Structure 1
């Protein structure tokens, strides 16, 4: 038992305060994403549009819009804000998981070939079947991420060996290089594929309706539950494979379970909004400064922080250039890269 003034109790209170603050910022980001855009809409009109949708007998998305303001709020802002919320949660948690399983502080969702797999099969779906709507090619992108994850994990265990952090990184680099080359070959064949691919690859939540949100929600929900369940085992794996085995952990099964969560989270989010890899790289480093290396706290904190950053970056990208917008992938790189560089230069990157 820890006393109220013990270091353990102080750390626990600090972690809880950090999670509560992040949750409040996330709620503020959702409100900003719904109320703010390139067209100025009064808060009262935004609330009235939402109230009318919630009071609709057929459901909030089944009721037809009665005005242009309702169409903007319910048809554009609400779906993209909801998608930014779950994508940020997924990519933030993915970054913490990948850095933990690979023991690499520079790991992100592109390290295991998931982004490359989603890009290749998504581009192939556009090329072979003419799918240009995100609701169509998103299934190909998710399947590509899943296949790439399976190939990387299988290749890292080839020859009867075990999928160690080093073998995962090497296999991921090889698969990524191959898939990127194949993707470039596909997009050069057709201008339509190139246009769709370059809009997707920069990372954006624009142009996504409620159907895309509902398509990826089950995968992200399942992945999030698996990520929370994987946290205790990941803490033990951080002590080293031999120590973890001595404590009764089935290392291969635990790593496979956690990487399945990574594939579900990263695959669904990347298929929907594109490869916003920088988010998964920087968010865990910021979260560790408040939670420490304990993944039971780190994964929820990284998920909430990912959602906060993605929501505010998307909202800022809509208003920074009136009459247009800057994609959220670009905004995150512009805002986050200087911070990450400063973090490294000051040597305050928390070790894994």
Structure 2
């Protein structure tokens, strides 16, 4: 497993992390044994970065992480969590001192630690990025010793650019994959210039880029790929990267033609992301041991050839961009 600098935090993390949304919920039923096994497998493979949130399984994800880390002992990996989505209603005014402090105190308890490595505002309403007082609250929580660093998880490139204007923001989490290429422009340039860490989520477009789905694929009722295709529960860009399912399936077949015979499409898609120097860590999810091991192996892949990168840019421009580029 190769490592990368995590922005200006002074930390070095594995370039492939562990996205812990799946072990918390909203991806169908995942047993605790499967969840623990997946996390153990990722850590055994050299993963040193875990991304979770207080709302994943209403804290289940955070608690499983705490249990596994306690069981393993030794040096603790870098654990990033998120806060804000417990707000009800989820509006800018709810990102206040009382709520953020309560959310962070709960995560401290769930993760069994006295200081959180990284807290990310969890895709807040756009208005939050224009409220300096919210970032002042986070500065105070750093000063109080509750969190070491803070960042943001965003839906839109414009939100990322605004967030980086605040000096305390050390990281930005954003969707970036073969079917979501807009961040590769101005955002990545600005992140590099400001030495802001970039965490890439939804790297496999909710599983589309595993190449294992087809028109007949079905999903459990509690899987967001069934209940959020049109943004019924949260931003539709979080599900299949917002690409219409039929369009995406056709594009997947074009991607398949470019995948070398000795790797999986998922590994290929992860390696494509790691071709970008601005990326600090990519956080694929894993529901079982096999997925965790497969994800980690992508770090060992050779660089993709220039002609492959050109072909994937052309595929995005011609097939995907008309549906998503202007939205996020």
Task: Please report the TM-score for the alignment, with normalisation by the length of structure 1.
Answer: 0.26
TM-score between the two structures when normalised by the length of structure 2: 0.27
Would you tell me which structure has more helix in proportion to its own residues? 1
- The structure with more strand, counted as a fraction of residues: 2
Q: Which structure: larger Rg?
A: 1
Structure possessing the higher relative contact order (Cα contacts under 8 Å, 6 or more residues apart)? 1
